[in-house]
């Protein structure tokens, strides 16, 4: 790990530690919960439902866009996501609760229009492997790749953990570190090596485009458009409902970003359970 990267992680850890939680004498109004979307041995809909029962929010904010809802904000279609199952059960017992979407509006349509896929493409990985195998990367770039694999393995492990274990400051640091290397450091490599520009792929629209351009659009979509929408929509709902208890349910890889944005708006958040 480089000195610069080490300094970045230490500063991040300190900021997140200071930003998580609220004064004990203050009644919490906003609860930021990192989730795992699919059932595991340690995390399921019951995990979220128990938390809902414990804190009894008036408003639940979901990592979905409006296409999942009718005009009255009942769900159009039910699926086996932990958050949806838990919120439906809670709504049945507390019908006065409001459930609202905070995801980027038209997320999948925008993704398709941009021609990006939900994950890094195989073609990108193949070029990266070629650069590694032919010893083209410098030591800093090699270290960045190693850190990417390291944080990815830890984040994958936490997908099997309990709700309490996932919602810790150290997991926020892991998520932010993973995204730092996965998006920003990989983009630096893609911008540097011409092979990413001269090699083409068929994007999600079926068009031929350079791997560099496709990755640039992918990074902007995931890190900027989606995260910014989740944060912006959450803040708007919180400001519009100042007397209500609000619970935000998002995949735990997004949690650190929302926490930072909420903190910047001076919104006190409970984020450990």
- 124 domain-assigned: yes
Domain presence at residue 250: no
Does 18 fall in a domain? no
**Partner residues linked to 222 by β-bridges:** none
Query: What's the rounded Cα separation, in Å, for the pair 165 and 44?
Result: 14
Per-residue DSSP letter, 68: G
Rounded CA separation 255/271 (Å): 9
Q: Three-class SS of residue 210? A: strand
What number of other Cβ atoms are within 10 A of residue 30's Cβ? 24
Regions of the chain where pLDDT drops below 70: 1-28
Percent of the chain with pLDDT over 90: 88
**What sign results for the dihedral spanned by CA atoms 56, 246, 98, 69?**
negative
From residue 93, alpha-carbon distances to 54, 87, 142 in Å are 13, 10, 53
Any domain includes 125: yes
Domain enclosing residue 128, as ranges: 112-221
CB 246 within 8 A of CB 237: yes
Whether 159 contacts 47, CB under 8 Å: no
Q: Considering the domain boundaries, does residue 85 fall inside one?
A: no
User: Based on the structure, what is the number of domains in the chain?
Assistant: 1
Sign of CA dihedral 145, 146, 151, 154: positive
pLDDT of residue 121: 97
For the chain, the maximum distance between any two Cα atoms, rounded to a whole number of angstroms, is 61
Structure tokens that stand for 258 in this block: 């929302």
Residue 161 lies in a domain: yes
The answer to whether residue 165 is domain-embedded is yes
The total of other beta-carbon atoms located within 10 Å of residue 127's CB is: 21
259, part of any domain: no
């Amino acid at each position: 790990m480089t000195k610069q990267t080490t300094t970045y992680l230490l500063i991040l850890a300190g900021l997140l530690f200071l930003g998580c939680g609220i004064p004990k004498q203050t009644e919490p109004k906003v609860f930021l919960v990192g989730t795992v979307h699919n059932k595991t041995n340690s995390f399921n809909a019951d995990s979220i439902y128990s938390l809902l029962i414990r804190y009894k929010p008036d408003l639940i904010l979901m990592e979905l866009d409006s296409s999942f809802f009718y005009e009255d904000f009942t769900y159009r279609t039910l699926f086996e996501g932990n958050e949806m199952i838990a919120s439906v059960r809670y709504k049945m017992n507390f019908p006065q609760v409001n459930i609202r979407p905070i995801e980027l509006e038209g997320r999948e349509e925008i993704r398709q229009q941009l021609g990006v896929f939900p994950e890094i493409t195989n073609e990108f990985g193949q070029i990266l492997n070629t650069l590694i195998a032919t010893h083209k990367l410098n030591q800093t770039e090699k270290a960045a790749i190693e850190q990417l694999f390291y944080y990815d393995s830890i984040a994958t492990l936490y997908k099997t953990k309990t709700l309490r274990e996932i919602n810790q400051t150290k997991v926020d640091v892991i998520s932010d570190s993973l995204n730092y290397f996965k998006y920003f450091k990989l983009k630096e490599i893609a911008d540097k090596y011409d092979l990413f520009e001269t090699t083409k792929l068929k994007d999600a629209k079926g068009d031929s485009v350079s791997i560099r351009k496709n990755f640039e659009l992918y990074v902007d979509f995931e890190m900027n458009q989606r995260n910014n929408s989740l944060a912006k929509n959450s803040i708007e709902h919180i400001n519009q409902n100042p007397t209500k208890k609000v619970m935000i349910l998002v995949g735990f890889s997004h949690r650190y970003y929302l926490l930072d944005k909420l903190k910047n708006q001076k919104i006190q958040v409970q984020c450990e359970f």
